[in-house]
Amino acid sequence: MQLSKTEEQLMQHLWKLEKAFMKDLLDAYPEPKPATTTIATLLKRMIDKGFVNYVTYGKSREYFPLVKKEDYFSKHVNGLIKNFFNDSASQFASFFTTETDLSKSELQDLKALIDKEIKKKPQ
């Protein structure tokens, strides 16, 4: 399951804060801040999707993510590779390295990461 753009934006704040009350989430937004009801609606949808949960303290709820940022991002990238690059990581890597404005230094860093992963793989 995926998050909408507005849910994803809220999730980014929650990942950064790790746990937060409604006031904390509202404070995380720049001006003009969304309405409390908007955030409450987004949180309800995200709870229903299994991305967020909460603990109740009196009348207040402290929200926390159930999905790690890395796991969500990994699924997202794998979905992109599957849907836009014929499930080919090589096609994705080719597109990424030729169509983005990476410096020589950044490309060398990527090569070093790939070389490191190659050494980890069994023969």
Domains: count for the chain: 2
The span from the CA of 123 to the CA of 118, in Å, is 9
Shared domain for 101 and 61, answered yes or no, is: no
The residue range of the domain holding 115 is 69-120
- Write the CATH number for 22: 1.10.10.10
pLDDT in tens, 33-84: 999 999 999 999 999 999 999 999 999 999 999 999 998 888 888 888 888 8
- Specify whether 85 is located in the same domain as 110: yes
| Bridge partners of residue 56, in order along the sequence | 61
Instruction: Read off the pTM.
Output: 0.72
Q: Return the H-helix or E-strand segment holding 20.
A: strand 20-21
Q: What is the DSSP code string of 83-118?
A: HHSTT-HHHHHHHHHHHS---HHHHHHHHHHHHHHH
Q: Tell me, yes or no, whether 76 and 54 share the same domain.
A: no
Residues 58 and 94 in one domain: no
